[in-house]
Structure 1
Amino acid sequence: MKIEQIYTGCLAHAAYYIESNGEAAIVDPLREVGPYIKRAKLDDAKIKYIFETHFHADFVSGHLDLKEKTGAQIVLGPTAKPSYEAIVAEDNQVFEIGAYKVKVIHTPGHTMESTTYLLIDENDKEHGIVTGDTLFIGDVGRPDLAQKIVANLTQEKLAGLLFDSLRHKIMPLSDDLIIYPNHGAGSACGKNMSKETTDTLGHQKKVNYALRADMTKEEFIEELLEGLKEPPGYFPQNVMMNIQGYESFDKVMSKSQKPLTAKVFEAAANETGAIVIDVRHQSEFIKGHVPRSIFIGIDGDFAPWVGALIVNVTQPLLFIVSQGREKEVIIRLSRVGFDNVIGYLEGGFSAWKQVGMEYDTLNSISAEEFANRYPQNKDLVFDVRKEGEYLAEHIGDAKHTPLDYINNHLTEFPKNKLFYVHCASGYRSVIAASILKSRGIHNVINISGGYDAIKNTNVPRTDFVCPTTLK
C-alpha cells in the first residue's frame, strides 16, 4: 500500500500521504500545504480527501487552505462541529481512494471527535491504522485537552472513554497492522512517546503500558493521569482556530514579510507593544541583542517554545533573524497560530549596531568557571530543565524552575545578588535568562554548555535513586 509519512521534527508531527490510481488523500496536514500539493503532482494525482484525526491543539492544520487550493473534501470524525463545510463522518463509514479504502473508526478519549482511520489495500487486506493522538508508539494521547473546550468534560471522563476506545475499537484489530501516529517523542500531546514513529499493533500490545491486557479501567485512568502536567497555554487557541477557521497561509506570509529599519523597528515595538523575538543562535544573542528582546532560537524547538512562553496567539511579534531565514521564521510561527507578525529587523542585529542603537549582552560563564564559584554560591543555582531531567540527575543544591512554567517562578529569583541558570546544553537557559532580563532581572548568569558541560567538572551532583521495598 502506498502511504508515506511526512515528518516534521521541530513539531514532532507526522502527516500522511496516501495515493492509488491517480487519487490521493492527506491526513493531518501542516499549515503550509505546498509540499503536499507538490507530492501529489509527482504522481499526477488529484487530492480527493483531507482526513483530520481530530481538532489539533499543538498546531494549526492546513486543511482549509488545502481544500481551497485543491477542491478536496475535508473529513472529520463523528461529533465534530466545524464552522466550515466538511464531511462529518459516521462510525464505520468507508471512503475510497483509487483502489484503497479508508474506514472510519470513532475513538473518543483524547478528544470527543478523535478518529482512527483503518487503511485497506487494493486486495481488501487491512494494512494499518492512522491513529492521530489516540495511540502513539509507547504511549496514548493525553485526555485533558478537550476539557479546556467543553465545560462539562473532565480528564477522568475522557480517560475512561479512551480506555474503551482502545479496548473495544483498536486492540481487537489484527496484530500485524502498522500504527501511523500523529506525533513522536518531543510532542506535548503525550508523556512517554517513543522516538520510533511507526510500529505494529502487536508489538505495542506487548510494550505499551496503556495496552496491557490485564489493566482495569481504574488502573488505566490512574496511570494515564499520573504526572500529567498542565498543557501549554496556546493549545486551546489552536483548537479553536482548527474548529472555527483562520486567515489563509498565503495572506499571513504576505503581510508578515516586512523588513523594517532599526529606527522603524524600535518605533513599531514601542507603539504596538510587540514582543521582540531574537531567533539567532544563543551564542550570538549572548554577545549582543536588542534590549528586552527574548531569545528563542530557530534551530531548537522554536515554535513549541514560542507557544508555551508567549501563549497568546494574537500577540504582535517582531523578530530578529540571520539574513535569508525570514520566511522560515514566519512559516514556523504560523504553524502554531502566531499570525500577528508585524515585521523583522532589516539587515539583522548587525544593522542595529551599525546605526548606533543601544544594545544589551548576557552574562555567561563556562562550566569550569562555574565549578570554581560553586562552593560560595550553592543556593543560587536554578535548573530550568524538565522535571524528568531534573529528577534523573541534578546539581546537589540547584532549585528546579522549569522553563515551561518560568513565569510562575519569577518571585523565586534573587533581585539583589548574582545567580546562575542552566539547562542541558545551553539553549533553554538562554531563553530563561532572556525572559528574566526582559522582566528587569539583570543579575542572571548563564552557564554555557549547561548540565552536559557541568558533568565534566567537580560540581557535586545528586542522582535519582529508585526506592526499593524490603520484604
Structure 2
Amino acid sequence: MFFQHIYDKTLAQASYLVGCQKTGEAIVIDPKRDVDTYLDIAKQNGLRITHVTETHIHADFLSGARELSAITGAQMYLSDEGGEGWEYEFEHISLKHGNIIKVGNLTLEVLHTPGHTPESISFLLTDRPASLQPVMLFTGDFVFVGDIGRPDLLEKAAGIKGTQDAGALQMYKSIQMFAHLPDFVQVWPGHGAGSACGKALGAVPSSTVGYEKIRNWAFQYEKDETGFVNYLLADQPEPPKYFAMMKKLNKVNRPLLTSVPQPKKLSAAEVKEAMDKGMKLIDTRNKVDFAAGFVPDSLNIQGNNAFATWMGWFVNYEEPFMLVASEAQIEDLTRKLMRIGLDNIYGFISDVNELDVELAKVNLIDIEEFKSHIGQEGVQIIDLRGASEFKNGHVEGADNVFVGTLLNNLSKISREKQVIIHCQGGDRAAIAYSILVKNGFQNVKNYSAGMNEWISQGNPVQIEETEAAVC
C-alpha cells in the first residue's frame, strides 16, 4: 500500500493519496483545488488516480475533486446520506453507509458519521493483502486529534436555522459508533490546529481510536448527552465569512479551474485607474513594511499562512481586486486564493513606490503609551480578537469588536475619541488599522505588540466566566 498525507498549512487542511502498488490504482480523499500536487505524487510513484472522494460538502475550502476528476478521468464517489437539500448537483457515484470502494486490493468502507454536517461520511481502510483488520479511518471533519467537528457552521456561516442543536445530537451518536472501532485503527482527520472547523484541534497529524477515547474531551461525556451538547456548542471560533460561499460552490455545478492562473503585472497607471473606479488594492507585505509606508485606501492582509482566510472575510466573490506582492510571491498567493475560490485577481504590482502617490504611515504606539491611555475618558480601546479569546483575558475597559466583523460594526467605533486598537500579536490590528483609515477614521493608534507583550510583562487581565467546562 502507498500512503501520503498532504497538508495545506494555510488552511490547516489535510488530504490523502492512497494507492495499491500492485495494480497502480490510487484514490485521493478531500483534494485541494490546486491539484497538480496529487498528479506529481502519483507520477513519481507509478500510480494512476482512478478514484476521487470527499468526506462531506466542505465549508472552509473549495474542493478540487471535480478538477482532479476532469484531468484524470477518475470516478468521483460522494455522499448520498444527507437527505433532501444535501445532494451534490453534478454527476458522481453516490455513497451510502456500508458501501465499499475498491482501489486495487484496498477497500474503503463508508461510515455515515453525521454531526458536523448531515451528509458527513468517514472511510475505514483495509489493506487486504496485509490483513483483514482495518488499519486507517479517514474522518474528515468528524473526529480530529483532541477535538471533534463543530455542528454550528451551517447555522452561523450558511444561515440554515435550527441545525446546530440537531447536529450536536447527531454528533453524540456518531462518536458512540466511533468508540466501538478497534483501538489500533489510525485516525487521519481533515484538519489540524488552526482550523476554524473546531476549537481545540491538536497539532500532530494523526492519532488512533484508542488514544482519542482517552484524551479527546468528547469521549468524557459518554453518559451525559446534555453536557456534551453544551460543551460542543460553547465558545466556538467565529466562522469566516466565506464559508457560506464554499458550501454553495462545493455543492453546485461550477466552472472548473484546472491550472494555476498567472496574474498580470500592472503598471502604475493601471493601478491608479482601477483604484479610482473603486477596486480594492490588497497589500500583502508584512505589517512592519506596510506601517512604514502604504498606499492610501489599500488594505493590509499579509501574505502569510492566514492570507486566504482573511481575504475570505474582506473580499467578495464578484469583485476583482489587485495585490501588492513580489513576483516571487505571486504564484503562492494565487494558489492560496484558488483554494477558497477567489479567482478574480485583476493583477499585481510589486513596489508601492512606483505609484505617484504620497504614502501614509501607521500610527504605532508602544506599551508605555498604551498604558497611559487606559482609563482615560476620551479614549476607546478596541480588542480585535475573537469573543472566546476576549473572555479568556483582556485589558480592563476594552471593547471587543472582532476584526472579521469590523466592517459591519464601524458604528461601534468612536469617531470623536482617541481609538487604540490591538489584537494578540499585531496581524489582525494591521488589517483593522487599514480598514478604519480607509473608512475615514482619523484618530486611530495601533498597539501592535498586543496581548502577547501585555501578558508577557505581567500586566493584569480581566477574565469572564464561561458556562461550559470540560468534565
- TM-score, shorter chain, exceeding 0.5: yes
Report if the CA contact (8 A) 1:117-1:131 is conserved. Answer: yes
Is 1:93 the counterpart of 2:96 in the alignment? no
1:209: Cα distance to partner? 2.0
Secondary structure of the 1:219 match is: helix
Secondary structure of the 2:198 match is: coil
1:156: Cα distance to partner? 1.3
1:464: Cα distance to partner? 6.2
In the alignment, the residues of structure 1 paired with residue 342 and residue 242 of structure 2 have an alpha-carbon distance, to the nearest angstrom, of 10
Tell me which amino acid in the other structure corresponds to 2:274: A
Match of 2:284 in 1: 279
1:309: Cα distance to partner? 3.3
Is 1:416 the counterpart of 2:422 in the alignment? no
1:11: Cα distance to partner? 0.5
In the alignment, the residues of structure 2 paired with residue 434 and residue 4 of structure 1 have an alpha-carbon distance, to the nearest angstrom, of 41
Provide Cα deviations, 1:221-253, integer angstroms capped at 9, x if missing partner.
Answer: 222222345532211211111111433334671
User: For 1:205, which of 209, 213, 220 is the aligned residue?
Assistant: 213
The within-5 A match list for 1:41-190 is 41-79=43-81, 81-121=87-127, 122=129, 123-147=131-155, 154-168=163-177, 170-190=178-198
Secondary structure of the 2:251 match is: helix
Cα 1:459–1:91 change in 2 (3 A) is: closer
Identity of aligned residues (%): 32
Cα 1:150–1:349 change in 2 (3 A) is: closer
Cα 1:120–1:111 change in 2 (3 A) is: same
Match of 1:339 in 2: 343
Secondary structure of the 1:299 match is: coil
Report which of the two has the higher share of helix: 1
Match of 1:329 in 2: 333
Provide Cα deviations, 1:63-122, integer angstroms capped at 9, x if missing partner.
Answer: 111111111111111235222221111221111222211111111221121110001013
Cα 1:458–1:182 change in 2 (3 A) is: closer
- Out of 111-120 and 73-82, give the one that drifted further: 73-82
Unpaired runs of 5+ residues, structure 1, are none
Report if the CA contact (8 A) 1:323-1:348 is conserved. Answer: no
In the alignment, the residues of structure 2 paired with residue 85 and residue 438 of structure 1 have an alpha-carbon distance, to the nearest angstrom, of 45
Is 1:351 the counterpart of 2:359 in the alignment? no
Provide Cα deviations, 1:384-441, integer angstroms capped at 9, x if missing partner.
Answer: 1223332333222222222232234322222123221111211111111111111111
In the alignment, the residues of structure 1 paired with residue 384 and residue 274 of structure 2 have an alpha-carbon distance, to the nearest angstrom, of 32
Structure 1 runs of 4+ aligned residues shifted over 6 Å read 464-467
The within-5 A match list for 1:234-249 is 234-249=242-257
In the alignment, the residues of structure 2 paired with residue 239 and residue 232 of structure 1 have an alpha-carbon distance, to the nearest angstrom, of 12
Tell me which amino acid in the other structure corresponds to 1:81: E
The within-5 A match list for 1:392-411 is 392-411=392-411
1:27: Cα distance to partner? 0.7
Secondary structure of the 1:240 match is: helix
The within-5 A match list for 1:244-259 is 244-250=252-258, 253-254=261-262, 257-259=263-265
Tell me which amino acid in the other structure corresponds to 1:291: P
Q: When the two structures are superposed, what TM-score results if normalisation uses the length of structure 2?
A: 0.90
Match of 2:319 in 1: 315
User: For 1:263, which of 264, 269, 272 is the aligned residue?
Assistant: 269
1:446: Cα distance to partner? 0.9
Unpaired runs of 5+ residues, structure 2, are none
Secondary structure of the 2:124 match is: strand
Secondary structure of the 2:394 match is: strand
- Out of 384-393 and 42-51, give the one that drifted further: 384-393
Match of 1:449 in 2: 449
